[in-house]
Structure 1
Amino acid sequence: MHNDDLIKRAVLGQFDLAYLPLIETATGRVIGVEALSRWGDASGGWLHTESVMRQIEGTSVEPAYVRQLLGKVARDWELMVEVMRGMVMAINVSPYAFTLELVDDIQRHWPETRLLEVELTERMRVYDYGHVDGVVECMRNLGIAVSLDDYSGTPYCVSKMVGIEVDCVKLDKSVLTNLKSDRYTFTNATRLAKSMGCQITAEGVETLDHLRIVSEAGVDKWQGYLATKPLFISELLAWLKDTECRFDLPEEKLQSA
């Protein structure tokens, strides 16, 4: 799809949303969801979301896209809380759009700020984060949690974690994918985050072995295909009702993983 078409659709809110549940490790409770944009093409298929977002993030279009995103997730969230009270919504925002204007947009569009989490994406490797502290303070005053996405424990990620003083870090799924050949990175990443007082969310939990490892490491929350793929709102509501908002796994299966 031509870049101009994507920009127009982003500004007008012509995209869909899917939601990936967030599971509390200690209890198996579903405590929230992450909103993920989905972009259809003319043939009825779906464009690769990562490539679409690379064209939007860090451009003047992103604030308008995030504004549309907020409106969409606020409407869907109202349906979710009918099934589960206290549902937390997580949205992804690049440092470019992480501004005081975003705080204003959240206050206009979002009904309950303490149940919103803003994830700072790391796709933009070269960016001035100098403005972020003031925005984080404003968000905290409203009860909004701030997370660092795609955290891998590298010096670059650690510097951002320390500099921004985030509430939570999201372990990049590559940390679990490469676990067999690189256990040190996982151990180091989790220890560093905990030493800074951050909560940890593990992305890409796809197997019982992954779940056992993140549980033993004291990771607070996780998400991944072991629970479910990202779900459109109607699918999510059905899944929440069917599971009674829990991911139940027999203890013996986890121990034998």
Structure 2
Amino acid sequence: MPDSISPFMPSDSLADPARPGHLLLNQEGTVQSLDARAAALLGLGGGDAGGAIAALLRRAGAVSTGGAWRLQQAITGGLAGTQAEPVQLGGMRVEFTALPPAHLLLSLVPDGATDTLTGLPGRGQLMARLAELLASGSSAALLLLRMNRLDSVGDTLGQAAMETVLRHAAGRLQGALRVGDIAARLPGRGFAVLLQGAGPSAATALAGRLLELMARPFDVGGAVTHLNASIGLAYAPEDGTAAESLLRRVAMAGHAANPGSWRAYEREMEASAEARLVLEAELRRAVPLGQFELHYQPQQTLETGALTGFEALLRWRHPDVGLVPPGEFIPLAEETGLILPIGEWVIHQACRASAAWPGDGLTVAVNVSPRQVEEQKLAEIVSAALRASGLPASRLEIEVTETALLGGTDSVEATLAALRRLGVQISLDDFGTGYSSLTQLSRFPFDRIKIDRSFVSDHPRSKAILRAVAGMGRAMGMRTTAEGVETAEQLRRIRAHGCTEAQGYLLGRPVPEREVPALIREWQARAPQVLACETF
């Protein structure tokens, strides 16, 4: 480890995957300094990198209240090139070639028996009691509960609001336990429950009850926010006879659980967890190494058949395996927070590319994740991308999903209002697949509704829903785009039901950026084809 950390580093070192990054944390968990390599590995680029890392570490529970810092063997033994050592006056100097995932950052914790925020036993008490039970040969069930989207509460309502939610969550947790059960607060957004003598029946019943409790609204100083939880389960002695290994396995199960659900540990998760760590490390390097690219899928108006614009779709071209399907890396990027730097790159790249397209008025639609919508800097990022590219604001369309609108309503409204003031278009993506769709349409200022592909099928109910949504769009002055159109019959049907635009493989598959200008000229050269209207 070097004795000092320079905030500057030659630019050629950023491209060297073997070059480590360095962070210096003080006793409160604030980043005192970092070098450019650390910022590159984190995908932060310029700006207040120190503040961004400090927020990341706070969300992972890496905040000391005076105790000694320690980096557990789980990190130094599990990720090559990661080292840490304490410094004088408290704090930690960290060197890494790949930042440990957020759930491994949980091992940066202060010593202490009781969590001062919730009053629950801390990790130390939990592990001591678990070790006693395992040594005695007793059976037990261990549950690990992780609050989802809690970091968005801190980002939008502040650190105090996040702490209030954690205290309320701890109260709900304690109220659901039996006499003799042990609840503990883990660093970050997690809780653990130890059930002595319990088997799968009792553990899964409690897991279901806790999921229901955590899905109830949280009132934070008059602001109502909706969260949910994911729960992992593991059993002793079946899944482990050592405290650390059992905790590690229940954590694997928790990470495998979808939001609002629970999963029990399975042996296959060991290989999945290892593969996930490798994928995350590679994903962190993808932005600074330029491995992402955008493909563009055409959108057509149903009135004249003319091309109206494109949707930008993210692709990851891995140097070894080629194109990685979005379904494999987007959820991981969401969970780790990498979606924020990736999403910022997408916005800038889509604006830059579309500004050079031939023709007038073609729009580019960019999907933004729930975390980006909750991030209060989204409007600033969009504004900067428009200025840098010269793209008129009216040609940029920001697509949000219903999921992004469920939590932190006030902050989401503020973000959408700021985007509206910039002059960009706003659309509701995958309409009908989330919750409270009618509420969202009346509350937020959308220019377009994008109807999910599942309603384009020839099922009688799908036809009725398609007709109803198109009618609502007309009544509310919103354009309606049907996604996933693959046959001429589907195209005729959606036009007959009143949709205004269409997108799908029938009209054009996504193409790389370099092929877009030729595709535009091809559309401009052919006469628009208006399909005859049929009644279904």
TM-score range, shorter chain: 0.7 to 0.9
- Gap regions ≥5 residues in structure 1: none
Please name the residue that 2:379 is paired with: 103
**160-169 or 189-198, which moves further after superposition?**
189-198
Secondary structure of 1:229's aligned partner: coil
Structure of greater Rg? 2
How far is the alpha carbon of 1:239 from its aligned partner?
1.5
SS at match of 2:356: helix
C-alpha distance in 2 between matches for 1:250 and 1:186: 20
- Give the corresponding residue for 2:465: 185
User: Shift of residue 5 of structure 1?
Assistant: 1.6
Matches within 5 A, 1:136-215: 136-152=416-432, 156-177=436-457, 179-180=459-460, 182-215=462-495
Q: What is the alpha-carbon distance in structure 1 between the residues aligned to residue 413 and residue 393 of structure 2?
A: 18
Say if 1:185 and 1:200 are closer, same or farther in 2 by CA, change over 3 A. same
Partners of 1:247 and 1:225 in 2: how far apart? 20
In structure 2, which of residues 352, 360, 369 is the aligned counterpart of residue 94 of structure 1? 369
Q: For residue 190 of structure 1, report the CA deviation from its aligned partner.
A: 2.3
The alpha-carbon deviation at position 71 of structure 1 amounts to 2.2
Contact 1:114 1:144 in 2 (8 A): yes
Q: Which runs of 5+ in 2 are unaligned?
A: 1-277
| Alignment match, 1:51 | 328
Whole-Å Cα distance in 2 between the matches of residues 13 and 189 of structure 1?
40
Letter in 2 for 1:51: E
User: In structure 2, the residue corresponding to 1:38 is in which secondary structure?
Assistant: strand
Distance 1:10 1:164 in 2: 32
User: Residue 86 and residue 250 in structure 1: after superposition, are their counterparts in 2 closer, same or farther (change >3 A)?
Assistant: closer
TM-score (norm 2): 0.44
Which deviates further from its counterpart, 86-95 or 151-160?
Answer: 151-160
Partner of 1:85: 360
Q: In the alignment, is the contact (CA less than 8 A) between 1:153 and 1:185 conserved in 2?
A: no
Alignment of 1:105-120 (within 5 A): 105-110=381-386, 111=390, 112-120=392-400
What SS does the corresponding residue of 1:169 show, helix, strand or coil?
strand
> 1:164–1:197: structure 2 CA closer, same or farther, 3 Å change rule?
same
- Residue aligning to 2:152: none
Q: CA deviation at 1:242?
A: 1.9
- Give TM-score, length-normalised by structure 1: 0.86
CA contact (8 A) 1:153 1:192 kept: no
- Structure 1 counterpart of 2:511: 231
Match of 1:22? Answer: 299
Residue 61 of structure 1 aligns with an amino acid whose one-letter code is L
Give the root-mean-square deviation of aligned CA atoms: 2.7
Shift of 1:41: 2.8
CA–CA separation in structure 2 for the residues paired with 1:197 and 1:138? 21
The whole-number CA distance in structure 1 between the counterparts of 2:367 and 2:282 is 22
Instruction: Confirm or deny: 8 A CA contact 1:29 1:246 kept in the other structure.
Output: no
Q: Which residue of 2 aligns with 1:249?
A: 529
How far the C-alpha of 1:11 sits from its partner, in A, is: 6.3
Aligned counterpart, 1:217: 497
Identity %: 25
Contact kept in structure 1, 2:304 and 2:529, CA below 8 Å: no
